[in-house]
Amino acid sequence: MHPVSSDAGRLSSAQRRPSSAAVLSQAASGVVVVVAGAVLVGWALDVASLKGVLPGLVTMKPNTALAFVLSGVSVWLSSGGGPGRTRTAQRRIALACAVVVAVIGLLTLVEYLTGLDLGIDQRLYAESPGAVGTFAPGRMAPTTALNFLMIGLALVLLDARVPRELVALLVLGTGAIGLLSLVGYVYGVTALYGLASYTQMALNTAVMFIVLGVGVISARPDREPIAALFSGTVGGAVLRRLLPAAIGIPLVLGWLVLSGYRAGLYDAVFGLTFFALADIVILAVIIWWHATALHRADAARRSAEDAARNLNVELERRAVELEAANRELEAFSYSVSHDLWAPLRAIQGFSRVLVEDHAARLDAEGHRVLGIVTENTRKMGVLIDDLLGFSRISRQQVEPTTIDMTRLAQTVVAECRQLEPDRDVTVTIDPLPVARGDLPMIRQALTNLVSNAFKFTRPRPDARIEIGGEAGPTETVYLVRDNGVGFDPRHSDQLFKVFQRLHGSTEFEGTGIGLAIVARVAHRHGGRVWADGREGEGATFAFALPHEEGTGDA
Amino acid sequence: MPDDEVEILLVEDNPADVELTLRALTKHNLANKVLVVGDGAEALDYLFATGSYAGRAMHEAPRVVFLDLKLPKVGGLEVLQRVKSDERTKRIPVVILTSSNEERDIVMSYELGGNSYVVKPVDFERFSEAIQELGLYWLVVNRPPV
């Protein structure tokens, strides 16, 4: 797994994108490969200016250049993304290069420690004896060898299960020795880039180690203790802004002061005092400046946090309000339904009494009008009944159990058949996946769908109903398909709303609550419903229940 | 009303429902043995021979009680609980006759020892039939303990 490409997607925009670290890493390794490659060309064609930076300075040895090219390739491959298979191949090549680098460093160190000549120094290109700052012809400096051993190990262990600080320490060690040598060149202190009479580290070698260290560090920007450097946190900002200043300013200042001293402009005491004061002032100003910027950023962040917290409080308050409103509404619909019932029964009952006891005094028109009263009372009763059912589905607690859906479907179909025993309806029930849900609710939903299918296939002499189901990766779908009168798909979003009907009540009886109940049941299980159909060509109604226990709506 | 004649105690506060219930019972000549009380407190007074019914012979219990749940003063469920938790009255069959189709009301009624739970049908025909069947069942078919 490659952290750079895989993490980029889920990081917030507030954080520094790790991809910039990958770009840095690739740029650094590219520079190393190009520069070291040029040195190798210099050795091949014997061009002195390519081997060393200035005449009179020690050259970068062929083995050093080779080790740099291999290190650069290793870093470049380690930081580059790519599809899975190529990435594995890349990782293998990167490891192989790293091992070779470490071995070159190790063998050279062995040569220094034992005094043996293993014959590796002149293997690529020969160097004439007596070259500047060179202990044995073609042999790299001991510090360079140590650095290659460390950076090679760091690259081998880059993704290994070792303490992360170990890799960081190896890289920082390499960079520190490179920096030390660079400082030696800048300040003209030979002891810093050459030990005793041993071969010195070349100037370009020192610079390359620093560049390489940056490349390795930014190849894995998400690892502690490097992560802070690339993070969007205040700590990251402090590191990025102050670390270069802390290293660069004393370095440059020291060089300036030293140059003045060597030119005889002032004595050592003055120089040192000036250095200390200038260092203090410049660093203090820079720290102050950055701290002010960070302070502003932090203040802005805090006020944003406060705003978010207030918003949260407000949201919570709204949620509580909504819940209370919902409860009130439910209590309202419950009691309305109940209290509407008794007077309705009275209207109907006493209309009946009128017919039974006082029929003689009513003429034909009186009977007709009374019939309308009775019929509408009946309809009102059905409406209240449905409203109560819907309200109950909304209020009841979902108590999930495992439901044998095939058996449930068989039961429901048998019930529907019983209501219309004279009809010949072909029903096929596929083996259905088991459901996890509230049995009474699921049963109600399935009953509504199946009874709808029975109802809307009534005009068909060859009525067919299919009940199917399929367990998907995240949810299980159940569907009821019929070859009934269907519906215009343009209105499919209307179907699941309370009291919405697509057919006149003279065509098909019903109040329009059945599908609303199906939708409510599905939603309370955290699932969903949908319908598919065509006018005159049948319809399919489906509901899906999520696999994990859905929270559902309130 | 003479105590010993009461076979059905109808606890119902809605006068229309009372009249319709009595009408349905009349058709089977069961209405002359019905005592109607309008709230839970009066029902308890009758059943425990207290208050205005003090002095009634308690051992002469009604054959069945038709009990509404939504009642003034003392609710139906409380009446049921009091009747069923008292040694003297717990054998009296109590039929809950209510508009409530709520699962928790049904469960609660059976938990408290209700003998039957009937939802008043909204349709008068069916309501009438249900009342007649109930009356016939509890007064004619059912055999109470002696």
Query: Same domain for A490 and A373?
Result: no
In a domain, residue A254? The reply is no
A393, A410, A434: which is the final residue of a domain? A393
A91 vs B80, residue with greater confidence: B80
Residues 5-34 of B with CB under 8 A from A: 14, 16-17, 20, 23
- Report the residue of chain A nearest B101, measured CA to CA: A388
Tell me whether strands B64-67 and B8-11 are parallel, antiparallel or unpaired.
parallel
Cβ within 8 Å of residue A234, ≥6 positions away: A294, A297, A298
- Report the residue of chain A nearest B18, measured CA to CA: A346
Least confident of A330-334, A415-419, B15-19, B96-100: A330-334
What pLDDT does B69 receive? 87
What pLDDT does A10 receive? 39
B16 vs A contacts (CB less than 8 Å): 342-343, 345-346, 349-350
Query: Same domain for A424 and A468?
Result: yes
In a domain, residue A303? The reply is no
pLDDT at B104 over 50: yes
Q: How confident is the model at residue A403 (pLDDT cuts 50, 70, 90)?
A: very high
In a domain, residue A194? The reply is yes
Tell me whether strands A435-438 and A400-403 are parallel, antiparallel or unpaired.
antiparallel
Q: How confident is the model at residue A81 (pLDDT cuts 50, 70, 90)?
A: low
pLDDT in tens, A431-468: 999 999 999 899 999 999 999 999 989 888 889 999 99
A196, A223, A250: which is the final residue of a domain? A223
B122 vs A contacts (CB less than 8 Å): 341, 344-345, 348, 381, 384-385
Query: Chain A residues within 8 A (CB-CB) of chain B?
Result: 334, 338, 341-346, 348-353, 378, 381, 384-385, 388, 392, 396, 440
Query: Same domain for A380 and A411?
Result: no
- Tell me which of B18, B99, B102, B103 to substitute to probe the interface with A (most A C-beta atoms closer than 10 Å): B99
What pLDDT does A57 receive? 76
Average pLDDT, rounded, for chain A: 83
Query: Same domain for A344 and A441?
Result: no
Q: How close A509 comes to chain B (CA, Å)?
A: 17
- Cα gap A163→A165, rounded to integer Å: 5
Query: Same domain for A350 and A466?
Result: no
Say if the Cβ atoms of B16 and A344 lie within 8 Å: no
Q: Where in B12-102 does DSSP place strands (E)?
A: 34-37, 64-67, 94-98
Q: Where in A317-429 does DSSP place strands (E)?
A: 400-403, 426-429
In a domain, residue A169? The reply is yes
B98 vs A contacts (CB less than 8 Å): none
Query: Same domain for A31 and A136?
Result: yes
Task: Judge whether A190 and A152 are in contact, CB under 8 Å.
Answer: no
- Report the residue of chain B nearest A343, measured CA to CA: B16
CATH number at residue A461: 3.30.565.10
Say if the Cβ atoms of B20 and A384 lie within 8 Å: no
B104 vs A contacts (CB less than 8 Å): none
CATH number at residue B122: 3.40.50.2300
Query: Same domain for A493 and A375?
Result: no
Which of B23, B102, B122 lies at the smallest CB-CB distance from A353?
B23
Query: Same domain for A384 and A421?
Result: no
- Tell me which of B25, B123, B128 to substitute to probe the interface with A (most A C-beta atoms closer than 10 Å): B123
In a domain, residue B24? The reply is no
Say if the Cβ atoms of B122 and A388 lie within 8 Å: no
Q: Across residues A420-430, what is the average pLDDT?
A: 90
Query: Same domain for A540 and A465?
Result: yes
Q: How confident is the model at residue A197 (pLDDT cuts 50, 70, 90)?
A: low
What pLDDT does B146 receive? 64
pLDDT in tens, A276-318: 999 999 999 998 998 898 888 889 989 999 999 999 999 999 9
Q: Across residues A415-421, what is the average pLDDT?
A: 90
Q: How confident is the model at residue B37 (pLDDT cuts 50, 70, 90)?
A: very high
Which of B20, B70, B103 lies at the smallest CB-CB distance from A349?
B20
- The verdict on pTM exceeding 0.80 is no
Query: Same domain for A55 and A169?
Result: yes
In a domain, residue B81? The reply is yes
Give the residue numbers spanning the domain of B75. Answer: 7-14+32-102+112-141
In a domain, residue B26? The reply is no
- Report the residue of chain A nearest B121, measured CA to CA: A345
In a domain, residue B27? The reply is no
pLDDT in tens, A107-120: 998 988 888 888 78
Ranges A77-81, A222-226, A312-316, most confident: A312-316
| Total domains, chain A | 3
Q: Across residues A355-384, what is the average pLDDT?
A: 86
DSSP state of A125: S
Query: Same domain for A71 and A185?
Result: yes
Say if the Cβ atoms of A378 and B123 lie within 8 Å: yes
What pLDDT does A125 receive? 78
Percentage of residues in chain A having pLDDT higher than 90: 30
- Cα gap A118→A141, rounded to integer Å: 15
The owner of tokens 């609550």 is A513
- Report the residue of chain A nearest B13, measured CA to CA: A342
In a domain, residue A200? The reply is yes
Q: A with B: how many residue pairs have Cβ under 8 Å apart?
A: 51
- Tell me which of B124, B131, B132 to substitute to probe the interface with A (most A C-beta atoms closer than 10 Å): B124
- Tell me which of B106, B122, B125, B126 to substitute to probe the interface with A (most A C-beta atoms closer than 10 Å): B122
Give the residue numbers spanning the domain of A358. Answer: 330-393
Query: Same domain for A131 and A31?
Result: yes
In a domain, residue B62? The reply is yes
Is B120 an interface residue toward A (CB < 8 Å)? yes
Q: Where in A407-508 does DSSP place strands (E)?
A: 426-429, 435-438, 464-471, 475-482
What pLDDT does A8 receive? 38
pLDDT at A198 over 60: yes
Whether ipTM exceeds 0.85? no
Task: Judge whether B76 and B70 are in contact, CB under 8 Å.
Answer: yes
Say if the Cβ atoms of A345 and B122 lie within 8 Å: yes
| Total domains, chain B | 1
Which of B102, B122, B124 lies at the smallest CB-CB distance from A341?
B122
A443 vs B contacts (CB less than 8 Å): none
- Cα gap A544→A241, rounded to integer Å: 54
Is B118 an interface residue toward A (CB < 8 Å)? no
Distances A554 to A326, A393, A496, A545 between C-alpha atoms, Å = 8, 11, 18, 16
A349 vs B contacts (CB less than 8 Å): 16, 20, 23, 124, 127-128
- Cα gap A41→A47, rounded to integer Å: 8
Say if the Cβ atoms of B103 and A344 lie within 8 Å: no
Q: Residue A47 carries which side chain, given as an amino acid letter? A: V
Distances A424 to A75, A459, A461, A466, A553 between C-alpha atoms, Å = 76, 12, 8, 14, 40
A223, A241, A274: which is the final residue of a domain? A223
pLDDT at A11 over 80: no
In a domain, residue A3? The reply is no
Distances A109 to A49, A113, A145, A198 between C-alpha atoms, Å = 27, 6, 6, 12
Q: Residue B27 carries which side chain, given as an amino acid letter? A: K
pLDDT in tens, A24-59: 888 999 999 999 998 888 888 888 777 777 777 778
In a domain, residue A261? The reply is no
Cβ within 8 Å of residue A537, ≥6 positions away: A483, A486
Q: Across residues B28-48, what is the average pLDDT?
A: 87
In a domain, residue B71? The reply is yes
What pLDDT does A518 receive? 92
What pLDDT does A464 receive? 92
